[in-house]
Structure 1
Amino acid sequence: MSREWTLTGATTEYTVGLPEHGGWLELRAWGPHGVGDGPSPVAWLGNAQYMTPGDVAPVEYAPDGARPFAGPDLVVRPARALSWTFDGASHEGELLRVDFADAATGLRAALHYRLAPDSDVVERWVELTNTGGAPLRLVEFGSAGFSVPTPHGARLTYLSGQWAQEFTPATTELWRGRFEIGSALGVTGHQFSPYLAVQDAADAGPTWGVALAWTGSWRIAAERDAAGLTRVRAGRVAVDWPLTLAPGDTLVTPVAAGAYSADGVDGLARVWHAYERRLAGDRLTRTRRVIYNSWEATFFDVTAAGQLALAEVAAEIGVETFVVDDGWFVGRGDDTAGLGDWTPDPAKFPDGFDTFVGRVRELGLEFGLWVEPEMVNPRSALYEAHPDWVYQVDGRPRTTIRNQYLLDLGRPEVEEFVHSTLDGLLRGYDISYLKWDFNRPRTEPGRTGVPLDEPDLDGAHVAALYRILEALRRDHPHVTVEGCAAGGGRVDLAMASRVDVVWPSDNTAPIDRLRIQDGFLRAHAPHLMSSWVTDATGLFDVRPRSLAFRFVLASAGVLGIGADIRHWSAAERAEAARWIARYKEVRDVVTGGEVHRIGGPDGARCAVQYTLGGRVVVLAWNPGPLDGLGTVPARPVRLPLRGLDPSARYTAGGVTYSGAHLMAAGLPVRWTGTYDADLIEVSPAS
């Protein structure tokens, strides 16, 4: 018996087949339309010396026993191995389901695939059901294995970092062995993004990508074998203990997404951007409004008078939404107290919080609020009333990070508290923007009074988080939700489908932020990327840049301002107003357009081109030294554009060019000591 199924996307196809033995599913071809018309590029020939066929085959999802030496995707105890048999399949439109069963344990596995006709991202997940009479322990339960042909070695591109230095691109070549990234923090994490790009080491064109839609602990691992196949495994991990699957229970793994582009890592980024726009659905059509956030201006020193002074200047320069950050609620004079007591502080808002919000609205601004609802300070009324609501191991001390504990959101009463608190704020005040922060990972793997090996803490927390976000979006569709986790610690495909924007980093300094945003755009779309203009000087690169540089940089996604604008001069405020007005003219192109990165922060040229319909917007920066510019012979930096009509004529900055010139020679920019960035519109010549 041999069967094949092909899923067809916009420009990509994905074909899987069932071998004669029926013990697993194999990849036959993955790439552009027509790639499956011929011998499989991932098939293996010859004998599996000292190995088994499963160890060298392009297995889609491998149970323990199918790949005894190369490693499985699913490990179940007490069984020492699983012997799967094919148990049926259904293929309807963009959905494919292939079922397997293990007679000895009663475990059933349904492999799910989805590839929409307007997408080039294949979604994969597994549904595991225990139909036997005894509990099963899931030691490994990945979502998918993706096989990529890499005959000359694998070039792997990933995003790493730390707080204030997120989304740093890195590349490594893997000739043999294993490469792994992940998080054991109970959250996506700052250290790695759940994203990996794979290319053959001899070809920078065809590129395959894998990403994971999961906001808890996770792993992505790439293994290259002697026959030239790189297999990428992706899924959540049980960092505390194996999960128990009781008789009759079902576990659904997170979606692992696979993408393909013929145009390298930059082309792969455009595939991910299109996918994330698809995840946003109707909410993508909502205008990303220019925000002001008060954090870097006032920190915890929040008062009605001080915030209104900021709001008045914000309205004057063209801001559309004013967001009050941390420090607005009772007990919150610093980071040692108050979290959990989400009541506006009457001492800070003596005329009432609703009156304060009304005054902000009278300035023509929408109103937003910062919250960190999964956290609690030991010094708070909430913790005093419910000390058992935090993660803890009986008999052991509790760990504080940033003077706070993490609430066990998987407890139904905690989920209800968080949801009702946020829902109450949104119903009680005229709020249209909610910044949801998360400033510490989980440390204690336990729940009061519950055996350590029972609850799926990671899965329960994430599931509750998703339910709350989905309920808020359903009941308050006008509210824009920003996801934040001490910067970019909770950015993944699952969050991209449930929030409107994300905060890539707490580092807002110009050159530092340029590098962070360059990495972010390799994996995530600009409509998600919140960015602020601030007065920050830099943590890793302190070279000064102009206010124009900062505005052009923040205009690369969703524009915000976080500086203390009360102290800006009249000239700076006027310049800010001009930049905000320019951003409003092009933001639909920036947030919805096709993105082409030109060069990068460490090169001679650094720009991003956005194209939507017939409109082209180029944001360009000089990330290099400014001294000496214009004093010796030099030629302009050239920015080669993409996707223009070579025979058409275009204007940019009052100069007319042919499309061929702009793509081959490039758009010229001549930087000076005071001119270090620009936003350039390229329009068809009349």
Structure 2
Amino acid sequence: MPKPYFRHLFIGFLLIKGLISLDVQAQSSQIPIETKSKALVLEYDSTKTLRMLYYGEKLSNIKEYSTISKGYKQMTDYSGLSNAAYTPSGSKNLLEPAISVIHADGNRSLDLRYVKHEVKSIDPNSNQLDITLKDPVYDIYVVLHYKSFLSEDMIEQWTTIQNKEKKSISLEKFASANLTLKSNAYWLRQYHGDWAREMQVEEAPLTHGIKVLDSKLGTRANLFQPPSFMVSLGEKASEDEGTVLMASLAYSGNFKIDLEVDYLNNLRIIAGINNYASTVTLQSNQDFITPKLIYTLSTEGKGKASRNLHDWARKYKLLDGNGERLTLLNNWEATYFDFNEQKLKGLLQDTKKLGVDLFLLDDGWFGNKYPRNSDHSSLGDWEPNRQKLPNGITTLVEEATKQDVKFGIWVEPEMVSPKSELYEKHPDWVVKQPQREEHYFRNQLVLDLANPKVQDFVFQVLDDLFTKNPALAYIKWDCNAVIYNAHSAFLKDQGAFYISYVQGLYNVLERIRAKYPKVPMMLCSGGGGRVDYAALQYFTEFWPSDNTDPLERVFMQYEYSYFFPAISTSNHVTDWGKQPLKYRTDVAMMGKLGFDIVVSHLNDKDLLFCQNAVKTYDSFKDIVWHGQQYRLADPRVGDYASIMYVDDQKSEAVIFNYLVNNRYGAGSTDPVRLQGLDPQKRYQVQEINLYPEISSTLENSQIYSGDYLMKIGVNPDLNNKRTSVLLKISAQ
């Protein structure tokens, strides 16, 4: 008899071929969602109340899920809704709700009862469960969607709220997901930050009451706090041990995640769009679809959860996640706003000399009535500046072609400068309160993407660039401002503004990708202020932070890597920090490599090193982009960080090692145990990306068994003279 996992794959194949079908009416009160090794189990009782029974290891006997609840001897659940699958407000619920409604008659109560469920096979690796709930009194339906990915142990969850009443209703809360977890303790790993301080980590036990992770910024939603988090159950999970839920809300606007430890000691997680200053008016026969909460459960620590998420993201969510990426040279730190056509042509020659694929022209190329010579003007006036670029962008694209490199360009199309022709012509396109003083974030304001005319304008900015420059090969899309004085001159209902803005953004991105499906685009937001999977489905990569100090980046990239695969992370070599060029380059290689340096200022050895580094990177980049990641040493715990990537055949690997403590005697005193190799294979360990005329201190001819490397390890010999060491592992 086939194993359960392969049985599910076989059933999925039969469903797709139409050889079997699933009865959409429930034959049992138990509704299990099983993946390769995990199960999320829902059930309903005689009252048709749908509850979340279990989330954990999959059982071999599906009938035994029904006995799980008998093992819990908790206090009285007075309402019977403490573990509701989607908790309503205004009826008998006593805890935080997932949904709050004002009916057409003014009544605020809601009760949701099971009606039916249906399972659809999307492909042999993914199924979708849709469960319909209905209020017995009012014609309000809620459909809970669970899309499961078998191989990756991943679930996407979202909700459709349907108004079948004869008049409009108001939604005051509208969560995507409502999970209930049971344990004797819960540890939350969350993140905070600001510009140049992204992904600062905190981990602490959750106590009774509600912990809220949220954003009210409108744009750059995760500038202060990202919508990604982890919860360890029982003990605090380590990299390789413990039970941990890893989750991320796929939404680019205001979000809210409630983590409530209730009086029964359950953890209730309610996640979705933030209802702050937002009320959704739902007309009769209108639906509202929430964004998706993406999550996975690991019983093998944070590393396994992360690898699940990476595999899923590359395969299903990240644009061209299993494809290629372009290395590049950016002009920003070489020129800032001070450049002209001749200077840029010189940088195009430097791009070829360096050996990277693409030249990226950053901010400062546009504006005529108000030239873009600083960040105080010109946003919105997307015409090449005639003084800097008398022949426009086209000449530069042609020059790039002559140099056998590609050409990319920076835009910030959602924003407008008060000092711009666009602002003068269309003040009603700007997000602002009509009777209040304007308040600027980085000297700019936000365009009202709730307005279809503004959506057309933003699309046209990109479309014009591509139409006039068909060889344009890359876009860096920035978004630097948050929303102050939130108000849309277009919308009659201001309660819809924040949500309508984000929907307008997605509408534009959909149009761009419909016409230009394959052009690589970087998602930038004054650094990492907008990094979520709803946005990343339109982008090939994101910019983690404007802080490119390599020491800071080791810590940031380490934390980002839990939620986002390396192929999605843009890292540039710059002059930030005090670390040597090799350290800066090695850190940037741990993702998608770029340079933001003055190539002409490099001495001969530095230039040779960079040229060789690009070739070295090209030799192993596929392992980093598409391989399995293992975190071997946490920079917050010891003197160094060690991160490993292994290809799917377990034939090749690359290990990045960085000294993060400069105190006397700091270094790698012990061997670093490797992971993900084949214990039966034999491997050569070789130091790579060495600076010219520097020899390795390691014995590169030594051959080790995979068993030895994973049980004993290898010492990269990090010290104050060897602050960054890259190792290549090759099966012999």
TM tier, smaller: over 0.9
Contact 1:367/1:433 (CA < 8 Å) preserved in 2?
yes
Q: Distance in 2 between matches of 1:197 and 1:628?
A: 34
**Alignment map for 1:596-635 (pairs within 5 Å):** 596-602=630-636, 603-612=638-647, 613=649, 614-625=651-662
* 2-structure distance, mates of 1:107, 1:215: 27
Residue pairs, 1:15-414, within 5 angstroms? 15-32=41-58, 34=60, 37-38=64-65, 41=68, 49=76, 51-55=78-82, 58-65=83-90, 68-77=93-102, 78-93=106-121, 94-151=127-184, 153-187=185-219, 188-202=221-235, 204=237, 205-280=242-317, 283-330=320-367, 331-414=371-454
Aligned to 2:609: 575
Aligned AA for 2:654? V
Q: For the Cα contact (< 8 Å) 1:243–1:454, is it kept in 2?
A: no
Structure 1 equivalent of residue 15 of structure 2: none
Shift in alpha-carbon separation, 1:650–1:21, aligned structure 2, 3 A: same
Of stretches 324-333 and 45-54 in structure 1, the one that deviates more from structure 2 is 45-54
Residue by residue over 1:526-562, the C-alpha shift from the partner in whole angstroms, topping out at 9 and shown as x without a partner, is 111000000012xxxxxx2221111110011000111
Q: Is the 8 A contact 1:79 1:105 kept in 2?
A: no
Could you report, residue by residue, the CA deviation over 1:126-176 in whole angstroms, capped at 9, with x for unpaired residues? 11111112321111111111122222x101112221111111222110132
Structure 2 CA distance for aligned equivalents of residues 420 and 296 of structure 1 = 29
Aligned to 2:7: none
Specify the SS of the correspondent of 1:571: helix
| Deviation at residue 263 of structure 1 after TM alignment | 1.7
CA separation of 1:68 and 1:682: change in aligned 2, threshold 3 A: same
Give yes or no for contact 2:313–2:321 (8 Å, CA) kept in 1.
no
One-letter amino acid of the structure 1 residue matched with residue 488 of structure 2: R
Q: Report if aligned partners of 1:54, 1:66 keep a CA contact under 8 Å in 2.
A: no
> Residues of 1 paired with 2:497 and 2:292: CA distance?
19
Shift of residue 45, structure 1, vs aligned partner = 5.1
**Cα deviation, residue 84, structure 1:** 2.2
Counterpart residue number, 1:9: 35
User: What is the rounded CA distance, in whole Å, between the counterparts of 2:133 and 2:703 in structure 1?
Assistant: 63
Residues 210-245 of structure 1 show CA distances to partners (whole Å, capped at 9, x for unaligned) of 211110100112112343321111100122232211
The 1:201–1:28 alpha-carbon spacing in structure 2 relative to 1, beyond 3 Å, is: closer
1:526 to 566, 569, 575: 566
SS in 2 for 1:559: strand
Question: What's the counterpart of residue 662 of structure 1?
Answer: 709
Q: CA deviation at 1:366?
A: 0.5
1:411 deviates by 0.4
Residues 556 and 80 (structure 1), Cα distance of their counterparts in 2 relative to 1, 3 Å cut: same
Cα separation, 1, equivalents of 2:361 and 2:447: 23
Task: Say what the alpha-carbon RMSD is for the aligned residues.
Answer: 2.1
Which moved further from structure 2: 500-509 or 557-566?
557-566
Measure, in 2, the Cα distance between the counterparts of 1:21 and 1:646: 54
Q: Is the 1:110–1:128 contact (alpha carbons within 8 Å) kept by the matching residues of 2?
A: yes
SS at match of 1:221: strand
Structure 1 gaps of 5+ residues are 538-543
Give the drift of 1:584.
Answer: 0.6
| CA 532–390 in structure 1, closer or farther in 2 if over 3 Å, else same | same
Output the amino acid matched with 2:78.
Answer: M
Structure 2 SS opposite 1:638: coil
Counterpart in the other structure of 1:462: 502
| Aligned-partner SS, 2:625 | helix
Instruction: Please give the residue correspondences for 1:413-432 in structure 2 after superposition, counting only pairs within 5 Å.
Output: 413-429=453-469, 430-432=471-473
Gaps of 5+ in 2: 1-26, 122-126, 687-699
TM-fit CA distance, 1:63: 1.1
Alignment match of 1:499 (pick from 539, 549, 556): 539
Letter in 1 for 2:643: V
Q: Distance in 2 between matches of 1:589 and 1:470?
A: 31
TM-aligned CA deviation for residue 41 of structure 1 = 4.8
Judged with a 3 Å threshold, the aligned counterparts in structure 2 of structure 1 residues 280 and 553 are, in CA distance, closer, same or farther, namely same
CA distance in 2, matches of 1:605, 1:32: 37
Tell me whether 1:435 sits opposite 2:476 in the alignment: yes
Q: Deviations over 1:247-283 (max 9, x none)?
A: 2221001111221112212221111111211234772
Q: Contact conserved, 2:682 with 2:706, CA < 8 A, in 1? A: yes
Contact 2:135 2:141 in 1 (8 A): yes
CA distance in 2, matches of 1:290, 1:437: 19
Structure 1 residues 625-658: Cα deviation after superposition (integer angstroms, max 9, x where no partner): 16557xxxx8744221112222332111222222
Q: Which residue of 2 aligns with 1:682?
A: 729
Q: Specify the code of the residue in structure 2 equivalent to 1:324.
A: L
CA distance in 1, matches of 2:68, 2:544: 38
How far is the alpha carbon of 1:33 from its aligned partner? 5.5
Aligned-pair CA distance for 1:194: 0.9
2:515 maps to which residue? 475
Residue 647 of structure 1 is matched in structure 2 by: 680
Counterpart secondary structure, 1:284: coil
The answer for the alignment partner of 2:597 in structure 1 is: 563
Give the letter aligned to residue 192 of structure 1: Q
Shift of 1:518: 0.8
The number of aligned residues is 671
Return the alpha-carbon distance in structure 2 between the equivalents of residues 215 and 47 of structure 1. 38
Greater displacement, 637-646 / 177-186:
637-646
Cα offset for 1:479? Answer: 1.1
Per the TM alignment, residue 468 of structure 1 is displaced from its structure 2 partner at its CA by 2.0
User: 1:53: how far off?
Assistant: 1.7
Residue 304 of structure 1, CA deviation: 1.4
Q: Distance in 1 between matches of 2:247 and 2:322?
A: 27
Q: Identity over aligned residues, as a percent?
A: 27
In structure 2, the partner of 1:540 is: none
Output one character per residue of 1:289-337: Cα deviation in whole Å (capped at 9) or x when no partner.
1111111111111311222222222211211111000001122111111
Distance change in 2, residues 1:282/1:357 (3 Å): closer
Contact 1:13-1:34 at 8 Å conserved across structures:
no
Kindly provide the amino acid, as one letter, of the partner of residue 649 in structure 1: R
Q: Which amino acid aligns with 1:157?
A: R
| AA in 2 matched with 1:593 | G
Contact persistence 2:640–2:668 (CA under 8 A): no
SS at match of 1:113: strand
SS at match of 1:89: strand
Is the contact between residue 372 and residue 438 of structure 1 (CA under 8 Å) also seen in structure 2? yes
Equivalent residues of 1:28, 1:40 under 8 A apart: no
Q: 1:29–1:40: 8 Å Cα contact kept in structure 2?
A: no
Normalising by structure 2, we get a TM-score of 0.88
Task: Go from structure 1 to structure 2 and tell me whether the alpha carbon gap of 1:185 and 1:650 turns closer, same or farther (over 3 Å shift).
Answer: same
- 1:42–1:148 Cα contact (<8 Å) kept: no
* Partners of 2:278 and 2:497 within 8 A in 1: no
Given the superposition, is the C-alpha separation of residues 50 and 475 from structure 1 closer, same or farther in structure 2, using an over 3 Å criterion?
closer
Q: Which amino acid aligns with 1:643?
A: G
